[in-house]
Amino acid sequence: MQKAKNMAIAPEILPDPVLCTVDVVLLTLHLGELHFAVVARDADPFRGVQALPGGFVHPQEDADARECALRVLREKAGVSGPYLEQLSVFSGRARDPRGWSVSIAWVTLVPESSLEEAVGKGLGLRKVHDLGGLPFDHADIVRAASDRVRSKSSYSSLPVHLCQPPFTLPELQSVYESLLGEPVNKVSFRRKMAELDFLEPVEGEMQRSGAHRPAQLWRLKTRFRQALSMTDRGINSGT
């Protein structure tokens, strides 16, 4: 990379500076309820307050905003290689006392087991409906994230990222039910999973909780680690 300060901008047309940040809504399922991760802020404003993991874009380190979000996730939650989707931009002069700011918000879904170490080091988990005391417009961001995830859950493979592979279909079904907030018909659910075709069986079975037939174990097909599998006709409530 030899490219120096090639294209300078004439000072008179340089716009006023905008603060450019990234915030990540890290979602996981804890005791059957959707939670998001918070960390204590280490600087003003709101020093010490629990907030979404985030930070300024570092143009020297981050090739783009996705890389920035991945860095934040690595540094603040010890998470690597997760499903990561851009949510929306939250912007304006009112949301941050330091000035006109842009927050590029991301959503990521991880199985609870992948957070154990970070939770030991101070990462917090809060229910997505418990939004009190969040700084900036982080409550809006979390609401947008959980709305997005819930609505996508009804017609896509998205919820699978909350399951630690390998997992059974009954386990995955209960994850869908937690997100959708209602029971799902078992036969329809399995038909839909077959149609979406994002799972592959893992050889070997699990027996868990003793006295019953063992269940087949499954994992996500690798080509769906970032792309979602979607269907026109959603998964509906059942039984």
Q: How far is residue 91's CA from residue 88's CA, in Å, rounded to a whole number?
A: 10
Q: Phi and psi (nearest 5°) for 236?
A: -110, 175
Q: Which of 11, 12, 13, 239 binds its own copies (CB under 8 A)?
A: 13
CB of 158 to its own copies, least distance (A): 16
Asked if 122 contacts 38 with a C-beta cutoff of 8 angstroms, the reply is: no
Asked if 231 contacts 156 with a C-beta cutoff of 8 angstroms, the reply is: yes
Question: Angle at which helices 169-180 and 186-196 pack, to 10 degrees?
Answer: 100
Interface region with its own copies, contact rule CB under 8 A, candidates 3-11, 75-83, 107-115, 183-191? 3-11
Q: Which is nearer to DNA, 52 or 158 (CB)?
A: 158
Q: Which of 49, 50, 102, 126 binds its own copies (CB under 8 A)?
A: 102
CB of 207 to DNA, least distance (A): 5
Residue from 176, 174, 166 nearest 214 by CA: 166
- Please confirm whether the linkage preceding 45 is cis (ω < 30° from 0): yes
Q: Which amino acid is at 34?
A: L
Q: Which is nearer to its own copies, 52 or 163 (CB)?
A: 52
Chain residues that interact with DNA, rule: CB under 7 A = 168-170, 185-188, 190-192, 205, 207, 209-216, 233, 235-239
Interface of this chain with its own copies, residues 179 to 238, rule: CB under 8 A: 232-234, 236
Asked if 36 contacts 53 with a C-beta cutoff of 8 angstroms, the reply is: no
Q: For 8, which DSSP code?
A: P
Q: How far is residue 38's CA from residue 24's CA, in Å, rounded to a whole number?
A: 10
Q: How many residues bind its own copies (CB under 8 A)?
A: 45
Q: Which of 91, 114, 185, 188 binds its own copies (CB under 8 A)?
A: 91
Enumerate binding residues for its own copies (CB under 8 A): 1-2, 4-7, 9, 13, 15-18, 20, 42-45, 47, 56-60, 63-65, 86, 88-89, 91-94, 97-100, 102, 104, 154-155, 232-234, 236
